[in-house]
Chain A
């Protein structure tokens, strides 16, 4: 017995030293750069002392189930958490959006668009410094642009640059703080610069572009120029940042909080408990059924807002049962989506009819006809399309005997998607359609739907997160039909035309008209049965003041958050 205790004690002590999984040790790049950051920060702290405002100070802790998968390497990340940290925490983007989704200056002090609309000239701020002391300048912007437009890098959102002129001609450094980028006129052309964090050229210029994904800069020692400075990353455990004293005063100066910690907690019950016991200040994306407990707790508040992701069922139009748009429309009409929102999301969501979020300027639900829940009309439409129950088994067949029966796949680990599939099954049965929910492991499912030669599915429950620049080209344009994301195999000339027109229409008012037509065409085509835009929920401890969260992101104004001094 004593022996066992001794071993246990020994392990505790041993792990005391080795328990922190800081990823610094080992990589020469990190070992070289982090001391410079530390030195510069020392200096910055003495040059920019903290103002005596009582709002300064404290640590804010955000808890979430996901890791910041790609860290601050904006050249290779598509993950939501990562892009948010790049935009608002560690790096800086050229522009930010305001609440009306109009671009405002950030790293770019100002910009001009040429007469013909084929060039933007950005003027970079001159008072922004990388956390190791180097000044941020036009070379950084040019470098970042080159990297993300180079196919070798495999920038995940390559669609951003569809209408941009790729490197090397696409970008030109005019002087230290001026850079010109060439493009073809297209809609929402500034949106990519809202999300793209600018990378330090002086640190990464020698890295071959195809090796950027593996570079330790992203997750082990990111050096940024944003309001927060990277301190440490313990894999699967936490990220720690501290306030950057050298952040430009014109942009608000250093953040109020001294430290920001991001904790990864993979279990939602545990997250809720940590929020309720005030171990974390913010719980990102609680489940709808947890919302009530947050509302009930006087120390917490629940933020709820419509976000940019939507859930849908995609129909493989290559399959005979699903090739007729009338069948697809009937399916949607036979589904009570309003009820589903209430049941699955407890009301925290909005029914979707297309990929345009309700808060978006292109959104139009007044002038665009939608498919309301109407089983009778659904049955009529199915009859019209030639699907009748000829043998009385409750399931319709076509004239040649094909049964209107198909599977709806969804991935493991997502209760909401399972619910969608199962509710559809029940509701479609009412109109004589046999839908079989089928669960598939995530990576396997991705392979089944993404592989152009495979497309092994009938219906699939999926979700998309959109940017503010809406672009369904990869999803529905027939020219992309052999690319991974053309799951549904849409081949509709009208939609092709509208998509093309939308991509080049710059003026929003003009675009609104086209969007109206597009949304109507989508309803007509029904490549997806769109379900809902779930509300984004966040549980926030009331000691955190000034937090604004909306469709632009959760970390939107984290540099302006402050901790109530009384509770520190």
Chain B
């Protein structure tokens, strides 16, 4: 198993470097000059040139590439023009926020997806099975940003102003403006309250897909002989379903972990923008717009690495859940 992991890790290195190279050239060869972003009336050509030199943009592309690659290997990701800070600082600020949101969304999605899918399989053809299918199809078809806006309108605006519910959620931000003055318990509650809407926007779409897969997988597993054996041993239906059947049905779901993580990162851009979540997705898009090369490249590099890592984790999970794979 360790050999297997090592091999995968080594294989990942050229993969990530290759992605980084492609990103570098794609960004640097795109039209648009970052110095123009800072232009204003009255700036003479000399000043523009000076700015360009200040940002190190006067060198030819391949020289810049070599310098960037070399610096990166020593952990120096350069300086972000648009944030006026080292790139690593910028990433350190925003990456955890995106990871938090993604982890919560994944957690919620897998938890409810597995639960609902299992329930549907066990109660196949019942009314609730069909009802769930309809509801899930609805969420599956929704673009996450539309869902986000709808959630804001219903659970934030209408809930407070129109229906006057006792609970309503804030429409944006990670914390409220009074966060620093709250007690510890208050702070935890504040954070959770701010997490609800963005997490739901991301998770609901994923939940639908996972439930669908889970249902199919579970239906197949439930027909298996070993499930019948388990029943014949006198085990309660709950143990049969949640111990014997579930673990086997989870195997294809684990594939989804590796698949959904990049999907999630893509989706976070919209969600982060709509909910004013200070995350990596938004930051990278803005960096692209302002041609902040160092930040774009570092951000893409990190995203690619995380996708590779996610797939690696999925492989490990496989081995954990299915002993047959361990001994191959």
Contact = CB atoms under 8 A, between A and B. Distances in A.
* Direct contact between the two chains A and B in their complex (CB within 8 A): yes
B274 A4 contact: no
A373 B296 CA distance: 47
Interface range on chain B (Cβ under 8 Å from partner): 35 or more
Nearest to A264: B276
Nearest to A445: B32
B41 A485 contact: yes
Given A15-B100, A263-B177, A270-B152, A214 B84 contact: yes
Interface string B42-68: 111111101100100000000000000
A392 interface: no
Interface string B181-223: 0000001100110010000000000000000000000000000
The majority secondary structure among interface residues of chain A is: mixed
Interface in A472-491: 474-475, 483-485
Contacts of B235: none
A546 interface: no
B43 A236 contact: no
A133 B153 CA distance: 47
Given A5-B111, A213-B84, A16 B40 contact: no
Contacts of B40: 78, 156-158
A160 B289 contact: no
B97 A21 contact: yes
Given A5-B107, A154-B43, A159-B41, A234 B278 contact: yes
B235 to A, nearest CB: 19
A446 B37 contact: yes
Nearest to B96: A18
Nearest to B105: A8
Contact of A218 (B51, B84, B152, B153): B84
Contacts of B30: 444
Contact of B47 (A16, A69, A158, A485): A158
B171 interface: yes
A267 B152 CA distance: 12
A511 interface: no
Given A18-B96, A26-B89, A266 B44 contact: no
Interface range on chain A (Cβ under 8 Å from partner): 35 or more
A26 to B, nearest CB: 6
A148 to B, nearest CB: 11
Interface string A69-85: 10000000010000000
A11 B99 contact: yes
Given A1-B111, A156-B43, A447-B32, A16 B191 contact: yes
Contacts of A266: 273-274, 276, 282
B93 A21 contact: yes
B276 A261 contact: no
B38 A154 contact: yes
Nearest to A265: B276
A269 B50 CA distance: 40
8 contacts: A4-B111, A11-B103, A19-B175, A157-B40, A263-B276, A277-B156, A277-B157, A441-B32
Given A157-B41, A265-B276, 18 more contacts: A1-B111, A5-B107, A5-B111, A15-B100, A26-B89, A78-B40, A156-B43, A218-B84, A220-B85, A237-B173, A263-B173, A267-B276, A274-B171, A443-B34, A446-B32, A447-B36, A450-B36, A451-B33
Interface of B: 30-34, 36-48, 50-51, 54, 79, 82-86, 89-90, 93-94, 96-97, 99-100, 103-104, 106-108, 110-111, 114-115, 149, 152-153, 156-157, 160-161, 168, 170-178, 187-188, 191-192, 195, 273-276, 278, 282-283, 289-291
